A = this chain, B = another copy of it.
Amino acid sequence: MMSEGPSRRASRLGAAALLGTIALLPDPAASQSGADVARAWREANEAEIIDDFRELLTYPNRARDIEDVTSAATYIRDLLRAAGAESELLSIDGVAPAVYGRLMVPGATRTLGIYVHYDGQPVDPSNWTHPPFEPTLYSASMEAGGTPIPFPAPGDAVDPEWRIYARSAGDDKGPIAAVLPVLHAFREAGIAPTSNLVFLFDGEEEAGSRNLGRYMEMRAEALDEVDIWLFFDGPAHQSGRPQLTFGVRGAMGMEVTVYGATRNLHSGHYGNWTPDTGNILAHLLASMKDREGRVLVEGWYDTTDPIGPEERAALENMPDIEADLKRELGLAWTEGEPETLPERLLVPALNVRGITSGNTGALARNIIPNTAVAALGIRLVKGNDAAHVRRLIVDHIEGQGFHVVSEDPDMETRLRYPRIAKVTGGGGSPASRTEMANPFVQEIIAATSDAADRAFGTGSLVLAPGMGGTLPLYLFTDVAGKPAVNVPIANHDNNQHAPDENLRIANLWYAIDLYAALLTMPRGVS
């Protein structure tokens, strides 16, 4: 798999002259635009670009498999070097390395930070149509009746509706496979980006980016020069249109356990007498959120930062996908109606991720379970402090008459308190939101809008003030104090986090157009 890795590519693409810097060349505006150069280069090298992507996808990349992710990171480091950037691995014992890189442009007065994660979600190969690290090309999506086809040879025509199936195709190796050709195209054409570039490729994103902050500290000086971070991650808008998003919700997991007797009891011998843990938990959960989805925990909505006029305008201009989405998902109602999904993503959420107590179905037994456990999924928005929100939840549980503990109660505690709840978890990652009014952000919007117009039609770009999911954006926005914009390129139906993950080739081409546009934005703000 690795035998003809980076070296093959390096020889095909020409070795980098001087890693990490690039000769100052004529302003691209003076001749061919960066986007045109990258487009032409892509059109001349489609099979090669796809083959490079295929090779990148063969690297297993679950964050906890240190040997695997180190191989993948080393391979990517060498790819960056071959594309003319300086690059190195940042390492901490026992955790996945980060790939750091830099490309300095003499005379550039702006620095773009580029975040990608090269690690992937765990896989259960038995649920995949093909082995997840043996990339397979399809004539179209499986759902649309696509069938496996051979990878193209150089010069073969490439259909943009093809899909490449493999773990991380959509989340998040696609951006790596797209940004490198842009760098090669620029070098070959003798043009330079209009910004310095700092690359940070996370190897632990799917495992919570627990060490990303430490890696960032290792290169604090270089990262401090970044003017705006671009997060190359995530899918297109559900409408299929490209999007930019300006924030993510934070995530916090908590778990609540309620107690009955010290052991499961026979539901015949003790039913009607011993506390019914499922019912106790039901009353508690029901007290936390009403039937329409409004969280009843006191203070829940009090610390949400208000949005500005740009965000409000963006919300109003977003495609109305409610009806389609409800039809697709089989829903006759949604929480908080008539508010829309994008609006609902700007307020903190409290959901039940899971409940376990006894068993159901064929495994159900005639017992009254001695515990009932609920895993709560909390999503935070800008303004929420995780510790404060956790406190609100604990206060609520206490307000429902529970004695709250952090460990399983001992006998003395059991005999003293009628209702006991163990509450664990908390922490998690904070929310982040970048004001759309920020001038660097306005530049990114303009460049992305141009690329989207070109790839998907005029006015196709969707501006979404907040994403529902969670990325470690806060490290960049709140800890490092920089604006950060999420710049997704994957098709909406890329099956991220699921079997048969894929990337549509048209989206890879869009990424190349887009990154070329971003890397050659006019030298504005500085």
Interface residue ranges, A against B (CB under 8 Å): 248-249, 251, 253, 255, 259-263, 265-286, 288-289, 291, 293, 326-336, 341, 344-345, 347-349, 351-361, 363-369, 372-375, 377, 379, 409, 411, 414-418, 467-470, 497
Contacts and interface: CB of A to CB of B under 8 A. Distances in A.
Contact of A331 (B275, B279, B329, B372): B275
A287 to B, nearest CB: 8
A275 B333 contact: yes
A83 to B, nearest CB: 32
A416 B332 CA distance: 6
Given A262-B329, A352-B358, A364-B375, A285 B278 contact: yes
Ranked nearest first, the 7 interchain pairs of A and B with the lowest CB-CB distance are: A278-B352, A354-B358, A268-B469, A282-B285, A330-B414, A272-B349, A271-B349
A375 B277 CA distance: 13
A467 B469 CA distance: 53
Contacts of A418: 332-333
Contacts of A374: 278, 360
B282 A286 contact: yes
A342 to B, nearest CB: 9
Given A272-B347, A281-B355, 19 more contacts: A251-B366, A255-B364, A265-B329, A266-B468, A272-B379, A272-B468, A273-B334, A275-B293, A275-B335, A277-B352, A326-B415, A352-B368, A353-B365, A353-B368, A354-B359, A356-B361, A361-B375, A366-B377, A368-B377
Contacts of A497: 266
Contacts of A282: 281-286, 352
Nearest to A400: B291
**What is the oligomeric copy number?**
2
A469 B248 CA distance: 53
Contacts of A348: 272
A377 B418 CA distance: 23
**Most central of A271, A345, A357, A375 by chain B CB within 10 Å:** A271
Contacts of A283: 282, 286, 291
9 contacts: A260-B331, A262-B328, A272-B379, A278-B374, A279-B286, A333-B418, A353-B364, A353-B369, A355-B355
B352 A355 contact: no
B271 A414 contact: no
Given A351-B279, A356-B355, A377 B329 contact: no
B253 A352 contact: no
Contacts of A353: 267, 278, 358-360, 364-369
A253 B363 CA distance: 12
A216 B501 CA distance: 59
A88 B33 CA distance: 97
Given A286-B286, A418-B333, A364 B360 contact: no
A447 to B, nearest CB: 26
A395 B414 CA distance: 37
A171 to B, nearest CB: 12
A359 B347 CA distance: 25
A468 B270 contact: yes
Nearest to A263: B329
A267 B277 CA distance: 25
B352 A357 contact: yes
B415 A267 contact: no
A373 B360 contact: yes
Contacts of A280: 291
B347 A354 contact: no
Contacts of A253: 364, 366
A472 B432 CA distance: 62
B289 A330 contact: no
B341 A261 contact: no
